[in-house]
Amino acid sequence: MAKQQQKSENIFTDASSKGAGMTDEKYNKLYESSRTDSGFLSGGNLVISGEILSEEIKSEEIEPLTDSGVGDDSVQTNPSHRGESMRLDSGVELGLSESFSSLSLKNPNLNDLSSTKIKEPISPVQIQKPEEQPPWELYYEQDEDGDTQLHAAIVQGFLELVIALIRAAPHPRLLDTQNDDAQSPLHLAVMTGQWRIARWLIVAGAKPCPRNLQGDSPLHICARTGDIQSCKAIADPVTKHERDALALSYPIQNYQPCDFEQWNYEGKTCVHVAALHGHIDVLRHLVWYGADINAREGTSGFTALNYALQGRDEEMTQFLLADQKLNPTVLTYGRKSVLQLGYQMPSNLAEALRLRGVPSPYSSDEEYDDDSEDELNYENIYQSSIIHASA
């Protein structure tokens, strides 16, 4: 398990440096590319289009046509075209049209269709048939760490290969393949900050909220790192234009909605993680998409407001209090309010909470002053009262 975790950390470091250099222009150009396989499946190997170099074949390399009953003067080639190259495939300039147009038919053997001296047709160029396309199983076969070629392509930041692999999948379930660290391709795309790849996976039908070994979904990772672009890529509705541009090989699937209330294995939702790490922009978008701002985490019942006050993040606290959906009176599983937990806060903030109906054990705002050296939390006050009562 330690080896797998070390590999995951190395993958994250490598991919962050490779994926960060991509410009918006290159990503957009790639996403709007023509709906072909970009040369990916030809030849039985994974070949990234643009890396295939056309090899020039000089006309001098073609042996002259002699023998086989055809005289040396039967085929006249134009010397001026001997240096011209031939290119195979689309847009071909084989350089053969000039040679064919200059064929001399003075030899009677060529004019006489009944002649038996020419046993078989002469073909100066043997065009090989393309090899059969390799099966999709080859691309999605897992290695000893559970990674597929899609995992590797995302980590290395090979964008054209990522698109080709997505298009080669016969079903979107393959896009959810998890490695030994329970990381799906979407996890890796978010971990490496490649929000465009994350969007392609969502458009292709990948599940938006798979869990890794820590129970984190890709949205939890966005909330922890403050990656607002990846958050949008996962949560935004898919449009018909995006589906058409991706040119998938399978019919449109039913998209799964994001589960914004999903706990990780610490009992936290993505809202809790965003509040805990102070990422206001991510939290704002999560709430806009429908995440519950008053959700309680699974171990103690803390809300986002609890984490903001606990971390003394006044900016986050003010943002939460400004949201009309916030209910500051939500109690923990121990039936305590945010004021009864004894968080240190400015007196004006404590007063604002009391005005919103938050229960408080104090009768004076002085207990909330940050500059007061005699400030005690509620738990210490409660314990000292028990000691005096027993005495």
Average pLDDT over residues 176-186: 97
Domain 260-391 annotated CATH 1.25.40.20: yes
Average pLDDT over residues 177-182: 97
* pLDDT tens readout for residues 313-322: 999 999 999 9
Average pLDDT over residues 50-64: 40
- Of 347 and 25, which is predicted with more confidence? 347
Domain ranges of the chain: 1-46+147-247, 260-391
Give the dihedral of Cα atoms 125, 129, 134, 136; nearest 10 deg.
120
- Of 297 and 105, which is predicted with more confidence? 297
pLDDT (0 to 100) of residue 16: 45
pLDDT (0 to 100) of residue 134: 65
**pLDDT grade, residue 239 (50/70/90)?**
very high
Average pLDDT over residues 6-13: 49
pLDDT (0 to 100) of residue 235: 97
Cα–Cα distance, 182 to 143 (Å, whole number): 14
Q: What's the token pair of residue 37?
A: 């396989």
Task: Judge if 1-46+147-247 and 260-391 fold alike in CATH terms.
Answer: yes
Name the amino acid, one letter, at 160. Answer: E
pLDDT (0 to 100) of residue 29: 55
Architecture of domain 1-46+147-247: Alpha Horseshoe (1.25)
Give the dihedral of Cα atoms 367, 310, 371, 354; nearest 10 deg.
-40
CB of 30 within 8 A of CB of 159? Answer: yes
**Terminal CA-CA length for the chain:** 54
Mean pLDDT of the chain: 74
pLDDT (0 to 100) of residue 79: 43
pLDDT (0 to 100) of residue 48: 37
